[in-house]
């Protein structure tokens, strides 16, 4: 069923046309990935659909009952709020009920009748489950302190709180702008499953190609102000886009051939006296003006790199502690000339700390890091880099280097490299302040590469970079003659490039040879083994040793069997009494919380008694059978 239609939508930002008369229909089962290079207007497109920005022209048609939930890249929170309060910010009916209930409890003069009415509504609509779901989602996203003030969280943690809020708010269309940023690989895998199983339409921008491949059933691409749609996942899109570009190249070659013929005719100086000649002149002008915009970034960037000596980077027994917690403990490794290393681990595990010690940005508490004299290091940091935004893009790049040399001794100029990294002639002379955040990250990456490094270290290079740029970067790294170390959550990039993985966990960096996928298989085997051992240990604890056939209860078992029915009845009465007290004290938050905790304790005790009743019943049957 169609839930939203876009008709003839157009938008211009400054002098740049983002999209021109584009059309799109979204169905309730669509899981759509929106791709396109930085600066093409992806975020603007999402904002227009979410109702945050307006288009210059065109229409968005949807039923008034259709609800839309939007997760932007840049999050703004209400100051002073706690984590759970921020999660419950949605506009759905259930969220409003929950907020009304919390506000009613906080009123100076509590209206018990209002509290009871809201309690009944929350019971009827299962609103109580929202808090439980919110805590579950937050925990999966790595947020466990639900009462913490939002100002105390890091930027990445705030983004995960906002993601949790977007996920638990029921909506017909969920719009996510870069949902995988600041998530580790394990969390991304959880999010994949969550979104695959979620009911309702999904529209998202992400550079994570595995994520796109596993979650989406449709890809749309913004390119040169046009919108192209592909009915399939990312792999299908790659195949069909290649077919489309082949057709466009053939069309463009035909246009050029006809244009050359018509240009030769025009140069003969024939005057346009007749209608036929006028029509031919119009055809010439049409051929001249309708050149297809085809991206061709096939400049060879297999750089030669500066000479690299035998000694590159040697780390011996390095360690770093923060707030009495060992972040990196006793790490030793010698970087080799052909290393392609991926650094993995959960957020906060110490990946960036390890990189900063290897590059000399911070000193280890103990141990040593030695760097060879011939090393020319390029370090792409995930932290924002200061730029003189008044500079033109090409001026900023030339500060890094005027040119780079290739393997065959030829030179690639800064302008040519900018073309390769999708900054065309006009964009090269654009002031940096006019570039989008993603375009600035792409510019920063190119600036680093223009310095001519022979050792490359990249900390989360995929954040804010589009898929086109990542493909170009992967080609560059593939040909790079020196060692490369990458911290990334982009599994596609890791699988394509790395040949060795260091997994940082509990202060230790453990080495695993092979690709990312091989590492994941080993981790899954380890987790399965740990789970098997845990189940076996639990079974050994619970399993009763085999005994001789029993013909009667022991003295204690007999007493327990005689009293257990009465014990269960008393516990059930206690729970019923507590539930009545909860209704009576619904307006007293502290008392209500105490009653909830007491009820949970009694319920756990009842469950134990019921398990014991089942065991004794089965034992009695066995005794009766043995005596017959």
- pLDDT of 455: 93
Q: Between 351 and 129, whose confidence is greater?
A: 351
The pLDDT score that the predictor gives to residue 262 is 61
Least confident of 350-354, 429-433, 586-590: 586-590
pTM score over 0.85: no
Do 6 and 97 share a structural domain? Answer: no
We report the CATH number of the domain holding residue 13 as 3.40.50.300
Question: Residues 137, 6: one domain?
Answer: no
Q: How many domains does the chain have?
A: 4
Q: Which of 119, 152, 168 delimits the end of a domain?
A: 168
Are 496 and 473 within 8 A, CB to CB?
no
Domain shared by 93 and 189, yes or no: no
Q: How many CB atoms lie within 10 A of CB 127?
A: 19
Relative to beta strand 218-223, strand 31-35 is parallel
Kindly state whether residues 426 and 486 are assigned to the same domain: yes
| Per-residue pLDDT, 627 | 76
More confident site: 29 or 104: 29
What is the domain-level CATH number for residue 570?
A: 1.10.287
Token pair of 136 as six digits: 């579950």
Reduce the secondary structure of 516-532 to three states and give it as a string: HHHHHHHHHHHHHHHHH
- The verdict on 349 and 444 lying in the same domain is yes
Dist CA 114 CA 305 (whole Å): 73
- Exposed (0-12), middle (13-18) or buried (19+): which is 457, by Cβ within 10 Å? buried
Interior/surface letters 177-203, b for 16+ CB within 10 angstroms, e for the rest: bbbbbbbbbbbbbebbeebeeeebbbb
95 lies in the same domain as 186? no
Q: Are residues 600 and 477 in the same domain?
A: no
Question: Within 10 Å of residue 30's Cβ, how many Cβ atoms?
Answer: 21
> Please, which pLDDT band fits residue 312 given cuts at 50, 70 and 90?
very high
Sign of CA dihedral 245, 246, 252, 255: negative
Task: With respect to residue 112, please indicate whether it lies within any of the assigned structural domains.
Answer: yes
Contact 282, 288 (CB under 8 A): no
Are 160 and 181 part of one and the same domain? no
Average pLDDT of the residues in 83-105: 75
Domain boundary among 218, 252, 286: 252
Indicate whether 572 and 600 sit together in one domain.
yes
Assess contact for 131 and 593: CB atoms under 8 A. Answer: no
Is the pLDDT at 270 greater than 60? The verdict is no
How far is the C-alpha of 112 from the C-alpha of 263, rounded, in Å?
87
Give the pLDDT of residue 523. Answer: 85
**pLDDT tops 60 at residue 227:** yes
pLDDT, the chain, mean: 83
pLDDT at 299: 46
Q: Would you call 82 helix, strand, or coil by DSSP?
A: strand
Residues 421 and 493 in one domain: yes
Q: Take residue 110 and report the two structure tokens written for it.
A: 């509590």
> 220 vs 409, which has greater pLDDT?
220
Among 133, 151, 168, residue at a domain's last position? 168
- Helix 155-168 and helix 128-140: axis angle, to 10°? 140
pLDDT at 116: 85
* Torsion sign (Cα): 187, 189, 192, 198: negative
DSSP 221: E
CA proximity to 493, closest of 342, 283, 360: 342
Task: Examine the domain organization and report whether 560 and 606 are in the same domain.
Answer: yes
Q: pLDDT for 523-549, tens place per residue?
A: 888 877 877 776 666 666 555 555 556
- The Cα-based distances of 326 to 152, 350, 505, 506 in angstroms read 22, 9, 10, 8
Give the pLDDT confidence of 68-86 residue by residue, as tens digits.
999 998 777 767 677 877 7
Residue 308: band (very low, low, confident or very high) from pLDDT cuts 50, 70, 90? confident
Cα–Cα distance for residue pair 21/8, rounded to 1 Å: 4
Grade residue 320 by pLDDT with cuts at 50, 70 and 90.
very high
Greatest mean pLDDT range, 27-31, 182-186, 233-237, 258-262: 27-31
Q: How many CB atoms lie within 10 A of CB 140?
A: 16
Tens of pLDDT, residues 280-300? 566 666 656 665 555 554 444
What is the tens place of the pLDDT at every residue in 482-531? Answer: 999 999 888 889 998 999 999 999 899 999 998 888 898 888 888 778 77
Give the count of beta carbons closer than 10 Å to the beta carbon of residue 524: 10
Any domain includes 532: no
Helix-strand-coil percent breakdown of the chain, rounded to 5?
45, 20, 30
Does residue 471 sit within a domain? Answer: yes
Q: Is 90 exceeded by the pLDDT of residue 219?
A: yes
Percent of the chain with pLDDT over 70: 86
Taking CB atoms within 8 Å and a gap of at least 24, the contacts of 544-553 are 549/622, 549/626, 550/619, 550/622, 550/623, 550/626, 551/623, 551/626, 551/627, 552/623, 553/619, 553/620, 553/623
pLDDT of amino acid 64: 80
Residue 537 lies in a domain: no
Signed CA dihedral, 482, 488, 493, 496: sign only: positive
The H or E element spanning position 222 is: strand 218-223
Instruction: Give the integer Cα–Cα distance in Å for 501 and 342.
Output: 5
Of 15-24, 53-62, 266-275, least confident by mean pLDDT is 266-275
> Is 399 among the domain residues?
yes
| 139, 187 Cβ separation under 8 angstroms | no
Beta bridge pairs of residue 378 = 456
pLDDT, greater one: 542 or 103 = 103
Cα–Cα distance between 359 and 453 in angstroms, integer?
A: 13
Task: Assess whether pLDDT exceeds 80 at residue 596.
Answer: no
What are the distances in angstroms from CA 228 to CA 240, 331, 463?
A: 11, 49, 24
What confidence tier does 624 reach under pLDDT thresholds 50, 70, 90?
confident
Q: Do 502 and 583 belong together in one domain?
A: no
DSSP 431: B
Instruction: Give the domain range for residue 343.
Output: 313-523
Q: Say if 290 falls within a structural domain.
A: no
Residue 215: per-residue pLDDT: 94
Pairing relationship of beta strands 455-459 and 484-487 according to DSSP bridges? parallel
Which is nearest to 300 in space by CA: 420, 188, 135, 205?
420
| CA separation for the pair 9, 45 (Å, rounded) | 9
pLDDT at 62 over 70: yes
| Per-residue pLDDT band at 202 (split at 50, 70, 90) | very high
Asked if the structure places residue 5 within a domain, the reply is yes
Of the candidates 331, 333, 340, 337, the residue with the CA atom closest to the CA atom of residue 314? 333
* Tens-place pLDDT, residues 124-156: 877 777 777 888 898 888 888 877 888 888 778
Q: Which has more confidence, 320 or 1? A: 320
Identify the pLDDT of residue 269: 61
In a domain, 273, yes or no: no
Shortest CA distance to 36 belongs to which of 26, 45, 27? Answer: 45
């Amino acid at each position: 069923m169609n839930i939203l239609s876009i008709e003839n939508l157009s938008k211009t930002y400054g002098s740049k046309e983002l999209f021109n008369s584009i059309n799109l229909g979204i169905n309730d089962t669509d899981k759509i990935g929106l791709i396109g290079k930085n600066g093409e207007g992806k975020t603007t497109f999402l904002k227009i659909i979410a109702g945050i920005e307006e288009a210059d022209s065109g229409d968005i048609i949807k039923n008034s009952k259709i609800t839309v939930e939007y997760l932007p890249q840049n999050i703004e929170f209400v100051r002073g709020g706690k984590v759970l309060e921020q999660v419950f910010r949605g506009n759905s009916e259930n969220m409003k009920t929950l907020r009304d209930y919390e506000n009613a409890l906080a009123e100076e003069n509590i209206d018990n009748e209002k509290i009871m009415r809201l309690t009944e509504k929350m019971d009827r609509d299962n609103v109580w489950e929202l808090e439980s779901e919110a805590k579950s989602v937050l925990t999966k996203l790595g947020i466990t302190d639900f009462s913490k003030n939002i100002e105390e969280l890091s930027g990445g943690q705030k983004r995960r709180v906002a993601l949790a809020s977007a996920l638990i708010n029921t909506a017909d269309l969920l719009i996510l702008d870069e949902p995988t940023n600041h998530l580790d690989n394990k969390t991304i895998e959880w999010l994949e499953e969550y979104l695959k199983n979620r009911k309702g339409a999904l529209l998202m921008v992400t550079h994570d190609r595995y994520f796109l491949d596993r979650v989406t059933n449709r890809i749309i691409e913004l390119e040169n102000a046009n919108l192209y749609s592909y009915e399939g996942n990312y792999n299908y899109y790659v195949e069909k886009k290649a077919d489309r570009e082949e057709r466009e190249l053939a069309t463009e070659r035909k246009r050029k051939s006809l244009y050359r013929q018509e240009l030769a005719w025009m140069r003969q100086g024939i005057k346009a006296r007749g209608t036929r000649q006028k029509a031919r002149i119009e055809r010439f002008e049409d051929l001249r003006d309708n050149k297809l915009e085809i991206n061709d970034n096939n400049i060879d960037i297999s750089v030669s790199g500066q000479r690299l000596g035998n000694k590159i980077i040697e780390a011996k027994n390095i360690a770093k502690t923060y707030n009495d917690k060992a972040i990196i403990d006793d790490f030793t490794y010698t970087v080799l000339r052909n290393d392609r290393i991926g650094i993995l681990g959960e957020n906060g595990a110490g990946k960036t700390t390890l990189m900063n010690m290897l590059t000399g940005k911070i000193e280890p508490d103990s141990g040593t890091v030695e760097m060879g004299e011939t090393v020319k290091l390029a370090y792409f940091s995930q932290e924002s880099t200061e730029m003189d935004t008044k500079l033109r893009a090409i001026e900023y790049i030339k500060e890094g280097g005027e040119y780079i040399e290739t393997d065959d001794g030829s030179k690639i100029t800064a302008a040519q490299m900018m073309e390769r990294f999708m900054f065309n002639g006009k964009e090269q002379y654009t002031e940096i302040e006019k570039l989008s955040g993603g375009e600035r990250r792409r510019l920063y990456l190119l600036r680093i590469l223009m310095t001519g490094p022979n050792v490359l270290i990249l900390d989360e290079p995929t954040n804010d970079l589009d898929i086109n740029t990542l493909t170009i970067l992967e080609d560059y790294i593939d040909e790079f003659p020196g060692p490369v170390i990458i911290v990334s959550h982009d599994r596609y990039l890791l699988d394509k490039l790395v040949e060795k993985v260091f997994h940082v966990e509990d202060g230790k960096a453990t080495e695993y040879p092979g690709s990312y996928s091989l590492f994941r298989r080993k981790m899954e085997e380890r987790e399965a083994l740990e789970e098997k051992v845990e189940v076996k240990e639990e079974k050994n604890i619970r399993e009763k040793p085999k005994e001789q056939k029993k013909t009667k209860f022991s003295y204690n078992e007999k007493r327990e069997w005689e009293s257990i029915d009465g014990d269960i009845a008393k516990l059930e009465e206690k729970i019923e009494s507590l539930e009545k007290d909860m209704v009576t004290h619904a307006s007293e938050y502290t008392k209500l919380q105490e009653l909830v905790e007491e009820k949970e304790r009694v319920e756990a005790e009842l469950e134990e008694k019921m398990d014991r009743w089942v065991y004794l019943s089965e034992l009695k049957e066995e005794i009766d059978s043995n005596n017959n």
